[in-house]
Structure 1
Amino acid sequence: MAEESDLLKLHIEPDRSIEVDHLTAALGSLSRQYQIFAQNRGFSARAADARLLVSSVSRGSIDIAFIPDLTAAGVAILPLIDTATLIEKFADHLGALIGWFQGKGEKPKEITVKDCDDAINIVKPVAEAGGTQTFNTINGDVHITVLKTSAVDARSVIEGASNEKARLLAPMDGDKRQRVSMVWHRLARDAARTDGVRSPDQGLIDEIDPKPHAVLFTDDMAYLKREMIDDEANPYQKVYFVDVDVSRVNGRVTAYRIAGYHGKDDFTP
């Protein structure tokens, strides 16, 4: 077992309560990233043997301390690397992955669809609940902040990971438009629709089609509707700059699915 002083700590200070599903998904994705990291670096023969353990959970702000389970990987690994170095290297791996989706640093050698999903899951607690989350490595009295993510940063990561996932799944298909100007034609104040082609919300993107069409959101971007309209007394007097996937039937536009959001400005209908 690792020394109590050698830890990777996740510290979350949310503005609102975090949904249990979002937190458990984040922990599951952290575990998976550790398994792939340990196997790819030769620290474990099998991904299933690379286990990340929760050593403690603190009250108040959410503090979760993680340690690697070296015993599961076998005795052969123990002379190769000490716990503190293993934690440091894994923290660097996390920082590089999440940072790249935010537009920082170099692209890791190989990004998979599951990497995109994991990055989204890891930052979603603060993307949805606001606040900040921080990954710190702790080695005795030495505390190093490896990655600090605000709600704005988290939403940027989700957008970058969602775009990369879409590219990996369908690199040559679909009609995607970036940073187009959209105004609301009809708007409901309920939750965003993500399924089908019908929606109570309709938007007008004149540069694509002069008629309004149903507006939906990708699953990962459903939170954007609240961000776009919650602080607006009259959203119809704003123009929104969005990335959209355009749905068509026989060449005719039927719906827009919002996949990214870049802000808004005043608009006079």
Structure 2
Amino acid sequence: MPADDALLQLHLEPAEPIEIGELTAALNSLGRQYQNFAVANELAGKPTEARLLVNTVSPGSIDISFLPDYDQILLAAGLLTPLIDKAELIAKFARSIKSLLDFFKKDKPDPTDRENITAKDCDDAINILKPIANHGGMQTFNTINGGITMNVFQIDAPDAAEIIERAVQTKSLLQNPDAEVRQRVPLVWKRLDRDAGKTDGRTSPDKGVIEEIDPRAHAILFTDEMLPIKRQMIDDEENPYQNVYFVDVEVSRVNGKVVSYRVTGYHGYEVLEQAED
């Protein structure tokens, strides 16, 4: 590719090493978002005709530069000369990524507020931000054109975690719009198994009480994105049974009776007050 081609740069400054699988998932999601962008902007007839290429990867803090496959764009459009404003194309794609992530900054994202938002878009937002949300630090998107770097947006770990939480909630709403959802409810553990949490079914070795919904203990399940929260509760706290955890849950009922809760969000904990003798 020509040295002066416009580029999109992902700059990562993690506080600790990132797992390869998380970085790969982030790159795959950026690629999928570019395919959607290319089709929507008539740069390709179908997603498989659009390719986002990795141009360079720099050491130290992680810098990954991307550019579209301009040759493929020209081929798909049937053009014989490069009539594309490459800098504007890159800037527009960067803004589309920012728009997706900004959507989940709302307190209660409504899927109807953004045309054609899908569960896969939610997955992409989650994947793009997971490396920083899980490992701390900062993530920046820049455009580079003619040696000039322009910042598009920057996200730190707390903001990334918040966006992921809302993306998880939005995905759940899209997949099950009639689900009974309760937010920031206090959960007290009655049994917390050392193994990984369950994500499906109606039974689980993990059981807890959310008294404002039902005073009895019920099975606790997790979304895929919330599984690390269970490990955090086990590893970081000396005695999780002495804490009250504030969570968002989907309530599963059979014949009107609660059978399980699925944790979709986490808002921290407080030490459970002990009754005086």
TM-score by length of 1: 0.89
2:204 aligns with 199
Give the percent of matched residue pairs that are identical in Structure 1 and Structure 2: 54
2:118 aligns with 112
State the Cα distance separating 1:159 from its structure 2 match. Answer: 1.4
Deviates more, 1:129-138 or 1:208-217: 129-138
Residues 104-253 of structure 1 mapped to structure 2, 5 A cutoff: 107-171=113-177, 173-228=178-233, 230-253=235-258
State the Cα distance separating 1:2 from its structure 2 match. Answer: 5.1
Quick one: distance in 2 between partners of 1:241 and 1:53?
A: 42
CA contact (8 A) 1:45 1:73 kept: no
Deviations 1:150-197 (A, max 9, x none): 2222221221111111221221x2322112111122223443332333
Deviations 1:65-105 (A, max 9, x none): 10111110125566553111111110000001011112289
CA contact (8 A) 1:68 1:83 kept: no
SS in 2 for 1:37: helix
Deviates more, 1:50-59 or 1:88-97: 50-59
Residues 67-82 of structure 1 mapped to structure 2, 5 A cutoff: 67-74=67-74, 76=77, 80-82=83-85
1:103 aligns with 106
CA RMSD of aligned residues (A): 2.3
SS in 1 for 2:215: coil
Quick one: distance in 1 between partners of 2:61 and 2:195?
A: 30
Quick one: distance in 1 between partners of 2:46 and 2:218?
A: 49
Quick one: distance in 1 between partners of 2:228 and 2:97?
A: 24
CA contact (8 A) 1:182 1:241 kept: yes
Quick one: distance in 2 between partners of 1:5 and 1:230?
A: 48
SS in 2 for 1:239: strand
2:56 aligns with 56
Deviates more, 1:239-248 or 1:188-197: 188-197
For the structure 1 residues 81 and 108, does the alpha-carbon distance in structure 2 shift closer, same or farther, using more than 3 Å as the test?
Answer: farther
Residues 26-45 of structure 1 mapped to structure 2, 5 A cutoff: 26-45=26-45
Note the residue ranges of structure 1 that are not aligned, 5 or more in a row.
none
1:263 aligns with 268
State the Cα distance separating 1:4 from its structure 2 match. Answer: 4.3
State the Cα distance separating 1:229 from its structure 2 match. Answer: 5.1
Deviates more, 1:75-84 or 1:144-153: 75-84
Deviates more, 1:142-151 or 1:161-170: 142-151
Task: Please tell me the residue identity of whatever aligns with 2:29.
Answer: S
SS in 2 for 1:199: coil
Note the residue ranges of structure 2 that are not aligned, 5 or more in a row.
none
Task: Give the total of aligned pairs.
Answer: 268
Deviates more, 1:237-246 or 1:86-95: 237-246
CA contact (8 A) 2:5 2:86 kept: no
Task: Please tell me the residue identity of whatever aligns with 1:87.
Answer: I
Quick one: distance in 2 between partners of 1:148 and 1:224?
A: 25
Deviates more, 1:2-11 or 1:204-213: 2-11
State the Cα distance separating 1:13 from its structure 2 match. Answer: 2.1
For the structure 1 residues 14 and 191, does the alpha-carbon distance in structure 2 shift closer, same or farther, using more than 3 Å as the test?
Answer: farther
State the Cα distance separating 1:208 from its structure 2 match. Answer: 0.9
CA contact (8 A) 2:243 2:270 kept: yes
CA contact (8 A) 2:30 2:128 kept: yes
Quick one: distance in 2 between partners of 1:206 and 1:84?
A: 56
Quick one: distance in 1 between partners of 2:138 and 2:20?
A: 17
CA contact (8 A) 2:74 2:82 kept: no
